[in-house]
Amino acid sequence: MSQPLTTLSPQGIPSSCTPPPFLPLHRHHQSTNPNTSSPHSICDLQEKFRAPIHQYEAVIATTQKLLRAAKILGVPVVATTQSRAKLGETCAELELESTHPTVVHADKTAFSMWVPEVVAALKDLPSAQPNPNSSTTMAKERQFDVVIVGIETHICVLQTTLDLLAHGHRVWIVQDGVSSCNPEEREVALQRLRQEGARVTTSESLIYEMTGDAGDSA
Cite the active site residues: 44, 108, 156
Return d(Cα 142, Cα 178) in angstroms, integer. 26
Return d(Cα 218, Cα 109) in angstroms, integer. 38
With residue 84 as reference, give the H or E element that holds it: helix 84-87
Return d(Cα 131, Cα 14) in angstroms, integer. 32
Return d(Cα 194, Cα 40) in angstroms, integer. 19
Return d(Cα 157, Cα 127) in angstroms, integer. 23
Question: Any residues with CB less than 8 A from the CB of 206 and at least 6 apart, and which?
Answer: 25, 34, 66, 147, 172, 174
* First CA to last CA distance, the chain: 42
- Cis peptide leading into 144, omega within 30 of 0? no
